[in-house]
């Protein structure tokens, strides 16, 4: 399999893993919003099972980065399916981060996080995710996608 076709396979795999993880986070969010619901370890278990898959997929994607960056911008712009998968993965990752932070806040409000596991103060900045997203786009996005303002 050539680099481009393998990259497509790996990006689709990454998208499937991210979609699955989003489903787990959405179920966790619904569970946490029910005030009388007992604490469930299903979400924690789902994360533990997804983490090795996510790590492996990330390693494969990192290997494709050099191939992708070796292509000229003109050639990258013709790879519509790769660009679309990169954009979908990036958008999904941002949704995962936001939903995970919301779930973390719900856990904090319910007192379900031990003090030693509290997030650092710097993570409480209101626009942390948006700033991180903007910073990644302004430093030259290796994915070849355009910032939201240009879409």
How confident is the model over 86-123, as pLDDT tens digits?
999 999 999 999 998 898 888 888 777 776 666 666 65
Domains identified in the chain, total number: 1
CB 21 within 8 A of CB 99: no
Q: Tell me, yes or no, whether 101 lies in a domain.
A: yes
DSSP label of 38: P
Q: Tell me, yes or no, whether 151 lies in a domain.
A: no
Q: Tell me, yes or no, whether 136 lies in a domain.
A: yes
pLDDT at 44: 72
Q: Tell me, yes or no, whether 147 lies in a domain.
A: no
Domain with 104 in it:
3-142
- Which of 75, 96, 73 minimizes the C-alpha distance to 146? 73
pTM for the structure as a whole: 0.68
Query: Which residues contact residue 78 at a Cβ distance below 8 angstroms, ignoring those fewer than 6 apart?
Result: none
* Angle, helix 42-70 to helix 3-33, in steps of 10 degrees: 150
- What does the pLDDT look like over 23-59, one tens digit per residue? 988 988 888 888 666 666 676 787 788 888 888 888 8
- How far is residue 116 CA from its own chain's centroid? 25
Tell me the range of 33-37, 63-67, 80-84, 107-111 where mean pLDDT is highest: 80-84
Using CA atoms, how far apart are residues 37 and 110, in angstroms rounded to an integer?
11
Q: Tell me, yes or no, whether 90 lies in a domain.
A: yes
Q: Tell me, yes or no, whether 148 lies in a domain.
A: no
Which two tokens mark 66?
């050099």
Q: Is the pLDDT of residue 140 over 90?
A: no
Q: Tell me, yes or no, whether 129 lies in a domain.
A: yes
Q: Tell me, yes or no, whether 62 lies in a domain.
A: yes
Q: Is the pLDDT of residue 146 over 60?
A: no
């Amino acid at each position: 399999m050539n680099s481009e076709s393998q990259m497509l396979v790996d990006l689709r795999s990454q998208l499937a893993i991210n979609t699955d993880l989003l489903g787990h986070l959405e179920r966790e969010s619904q569970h946490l919003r029910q005030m009388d619901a007992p604490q469930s370890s299903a979400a924690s278990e789902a994360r533990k099972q997804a983490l090795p898959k996510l790590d492996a997929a990330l390693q494969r994607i990192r290997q494709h980065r050099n191939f992708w960056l070796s292509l000229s911008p003109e050639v990258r712009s013709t790879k519509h399916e790769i660009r679309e998968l990169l954009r979908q993965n990036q958008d999904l990752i941002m949704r995962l981060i936001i939903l995970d932070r919301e779930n973390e806040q719900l856990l904090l409000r319910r007192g379900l996080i031990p003090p030693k596991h509290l997030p650092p103060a710097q993570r409480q900045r209101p626009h942390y995710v948006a700033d991180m997203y903007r910073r990644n786009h302004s430093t030259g996005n290796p994915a070849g996608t355009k910032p939201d303002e240009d879409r």
